[in-house]
A and B are shown apart, each in its own frame.
Chain A
Amino acid sequence: MPLDTSTYSLALLRLDGRRWNELRRIHAQISTQAAADGSSYLEMGNTKILVSVTGPAEGRQAGQRGGAGSQAKVEVEINFAGFSGVERRKRKSDKRTNEMEHCLRSAFENVLLLHIYPHSTITLNIHIISQDGSLLAACINASTLALIDAGIPMSDYLVACTAASSASSSAADNASSDDPLLDLNNQEELELPFLTVGTLGESDNVAVCIMESRVRMERMEGMLAVGIEGCKRLRGILDGVVKGYGKRFG
């Protein structure tokens, strides 16, 4: 179903009524599961994710004791609920999921201070309850919260969000007509070229950047800039969640 972009250029409002630089509603909770060392529940619009962290603990397989050298090993498992998408279908472990797991693992390996827990394993279990765009970004944000809840030291929040370029790639090539959008839902993701960008805390530095659609290279700059600013805003929101929790239980 083609996205009606004509109405967008008129009213500058997206299909769900947001402006171009507006985030979806975010609701986050931490310490949701009693049994896990750390857990979180995150809603970004209609994307809903539950993460539980186990560890640092002795690895599951006997003999294979944690990570190489003097670092803890990070394991990520993503589980899609059967009802999470529009179609109900089993997706066990396809390559896309593997890729996401790889991405989360290598992103968090650089954020967490793993040398504090040599030989141990930190396991992230991610349950995707509902998908509506920005899936990888939501996974990253939820995992960050769960890891904070588990008290695992990290150098800063790793936050991610998506940004798109609203003019289709076939349209005018000049970058001036470029119109970036922030935090996409599923419909927009299907229609527009977008990228997922993850930054480390308030800094501009990019930790994760994934783009899967074809776009003119001139548009990259605008998308990145919007994505990075979105991440900064998100960090503030997530920080508020952690602080609020700290007030309640501190």
Chain B
Amino acid sequence: MPVSILPPSAPLPPRRDARDDDDSDVDMSDDDFPTSQTKSIVTPGEHITSDPQWMRGHGTYVPVGDSTIISTVAGHLHKTNKLLSVQPLRARYQPEIGDLVVGRIVSVQTKKWSVDIAAPMLANLPLSSINLPGGILRRRTAVDELNIRTFFSEGDLLVAEVQSLHQDNTASLHTRSLKYGKLRNGLFTSLTGAGGGILSRRGGVVRSRRQVFTLNTAAGEIDVVLGVNGYIFISKHITTNADPKEVGINRLDESVTETLYSSQNDEIEPAVMREITRVSTLIKGLVACGTKVDENMIVKVYEGAVELEAEEKSLGGVETGVGAKGVVETVLARLELEAGG
């Protein structure tokens, strides 16, 4: 029985039309960015190819008794040699070995912690994978097990590395490096859904060489930790009083031991706090603009924003959009001009 279905004919109400136009304006300015991915995306159920030479990767499936590769998520098609995979536009973070993540302790068990790292499952941090006070090479004892809460307790933030993955994709973390451990003296920011994946979306944290860096601001130095899972921690930079080159490895351990698992914040000057929140807001703005978040970008945008503020103070009234997104857009537009001119 041939049936044809008429599309809904009623035009959109003007209120929405206006909004849509507004959005498409943003589109255009976004499109000015040179990106390699201006092509349209694939959506679930879309046939990608029926050529048997291709292999199916993540985000695709092959129905039983067929050789057609079909997409299962909405995202960009990636071709790696003969492997076809679809990277979703937005998805939960999928842990991979070696990822630097920021996490929050959810529960404390006898020999391990459960850590929320925004992945499908809570990650484990076994007691045996942390640096115990008093030197790296110390044996784990029963006393440590009893005192497990003195290292990390519920709600503590930490930076860690994914050490291994279990069969059901549960991650095991470790903090066996001086780079990792408890976080304090700062501000936590979450970019939900934007993390993970390689360029999963233009906004989001990129797996890169430097995810922990120090930013020089007028008020002092600020540490930024970009977790690949979309969790970000920005804190006041604490200089260790001893120069690591002069002291032996054991001495260094001792010097950080007292502060390693402290939950007490140091004194933070209001000016530094201000800069911390500024960076945090700018990062959120970057994500709202759909820009990738990495060291280079943050440094540029931060400098631009400071400049903008100075101008605003001296000249009064610089035109920016609303909120963090507006500021970031203005700064980005200026950077564009500079690069062009």
Chain B positions within 8 Å of A202 at CB level? 45
Which residues in window 33-86 of A have CB below 8 A to B? 34-38, 55-58, 62, 70, 72
CA distance in complex: A150, B200 (Å):
12
Closest to A226 in B: B3
In terms of DSSP, what is the predominant structure of the interface of chain B? loop
A155 to B171, CA, bound (A): 27
Tell whether, in the assembled complex, residue A21 and residue B169 are in contact, meaning their CB atoms are under 8 Å apart: no
User: Total number of A-B contacts with CB less than 8 angstroms?
Assistant: 158
B5 and A232 form a contact (CB under 8 A): yes
Question: Are B192 and A70 neighbours in the complex by a CB distance under 8 Å?
Answer: no
Which of B66-74, B127-135, B179-187 has 4 or more CB atoms under 8 Å from chain A?
B66-74
- Beta-carbon contacts under 8 Å, B1-50 to A: 1, 3-10, 12, 16, 23, 26-27, 30, 37, 40-41, 43-45
Given A27-B16, A233-B7, check contact A155 B61 (CB 8 Å): yes
Instruction: Note all chain B residues with C-beta closer than 8 A to A21.
Output: 3-6
Cα distance A245–B75 when bound, in Å?
Answer: 10
* Contact A225-B41, Cβ < 8 Å, known A22-B9, A154-B72: no
Specify which of A27, A148, A221, A226 is in contact with B12 (CB 8 Å cutoff).
A27
Q: Which of A88-96, A116-124, A188-196 contacts its partner? A: A116-124
Contacts from A to B (Cβ < 8 Å)? 19, 21-27, 31, 34-38, 55-58, 62, 70, 72, 113, 117-120, 148-157, 182, 200-202, 221-222, 225-226, 229-230, 232-233, 235, 237, 239, 242-243, 245-250
Query: Contact: A237 with B7, CB < 8 Å?
Result: yes
Number of interface residues of B (CB under 8 A): 49
Rounded to whole Å, the gap between the CB of B41 and the closest CB of chain A is 3
CB neighbours of B167 from chain A (8 A): 118
Interface 1/0s, chain B 67-108, versus A by CB < 8 A? 000101111100000000000111110000000000000010
B44/A117 in contact, CB under 8 A? no
B290 within 8 A of partner (CB)? yes
Cβ contacts under 8 Å, A31 to chain B: 90
B301 at the interface (CB under 8 A from A): no
Q: Closest residue to B24 on the A side, CB-wise?
A: A248
Residues of A within 8 A of B319 (CB): none
Inter-chain CA distance A46–B72, complex, in Å, is 30
Instruction: Provide 29 A-B residue pairs closer than 8 Å at the C-beta atoms, listed in order of the A residue.
Output: A19-B6, A22-B7, A24-B10, A27-B16, A31-B90, A36-B192, A38-B193, A55-B92, A55-B120, A113-B72, A119-B168, A149-B74, A149-B90, A151-B73, A155-B63, A156-B45, A157-B44, A201-B44, A202-B45, A221-B1, A222-B1, A230-B5, A235-B45, A242-B41, A242-B74, A243-B41, A247-B41, A249-B201, A250-B41
State how many angstroms separate the Cβ of B66 from the closest Cβ of chain A: 12
Task: Say yes or no for B202: interface residue by CB 8 A criterion.
Answer: yes
Shortest A226–chain B CB gap in Å is 6
- Using Cβ atoms and an 8 Å threshold, which residues of chain B touch A200? 45
Chain A residue, CB-CB nearest to B120 = A56
Would you give the shortest CB distance from A228 to chain B, in whole angstroms?
Answer: 8
CA distance A31 to B202 in the complex (A): 15
Could you tell me the distance in whole angstroms from the C-beta of B6 to the nearest C-beta in chain A?
Answer: 4
Within 8 Å CB of B192, what residues of A? 34-37
Q: Taking beta carbons and an 8 Å cutoff, which residues of B are in contact with A? A: 1, 3-10, 12, 16, 23, 26-27, 30, 37, 40-41, 43-45, 59, 61, 63, 70, 72-76, 88-92, 107, 120-122, 167-170, 192-193, 201-203, 290
Given A25-B10, A229-B5; A118-B168 close (CB under 8 Å) = yes
Shortest B176–chain A CB gap in Å is 25
Minimum distance in angstroms from A80 CB to a CB of chain B? 25
Contact call B72/A155, Cβ cutoff below 8 A:
yes
Residues of B within 8 A of A36 (CB): 192
> In the complex, A153→B62 CA distance in Å?
13
A77 to B122, CA, bound (A): 23
Inter-subunit contact A182/B72 (CB<8 Å): no
Residues in A neighbouring B193, C-beta threshold 8 A:
37-38, 150-151
Known A25-B12, A118-B168, A151-B91; judge A239-B43 contact (CB<8 A): yes
Contact of B6 among A22, A27, A150, A152 (CB under 8 A): A22
C-alpha gap A54/B45 in the complex (Å): 22
B202 A249 Cβ-Cβ under 8 A: yes
Smallest CB gap from A62: residue in B: B107
Question: Would A37 and B61 count as touching, CB distance under 8 A?
Answer: no
- Residues on B with C-beta less than 8 A from A242 are 41, 43, 74
Q: A24 to B7, alpha carbons, bound, how many Å?
A: 8
Whether the pair A150, B41 counts as a contact (CB closer than 8 A) is no
What CA separation (Å) do A185 and B5 show in the bound complex?
Answer: 17
- Other-chain contact of A153, B3, B37, B61, B89 (Cβ < 8 Å): B61
CA distance A24 to B5 in the complex (A): 11
Task: Report the minimal beta-carbon distance from A144 to chain B, rounded to whole angstroms.
Answer: 8
The answer to whether A155 touches B40, judged by C-beta atoms less than 8 angstroms apart, is no
Cβ-closest chain B residue relative to A232: B5
List 17 additional A-B contacts (Cβ < 8 Å) besides A24-B8, A56-B121, A247-B40: A19-B6, A21-B5, A23-B5, A27-B12, A37-B193, A118-B168, A148-B74, A149-B74, A153-B73, A154-B73, A182-B5, A201-B44, A225-B3, A235-B45, A245-B89, A249-B89, A250-B40
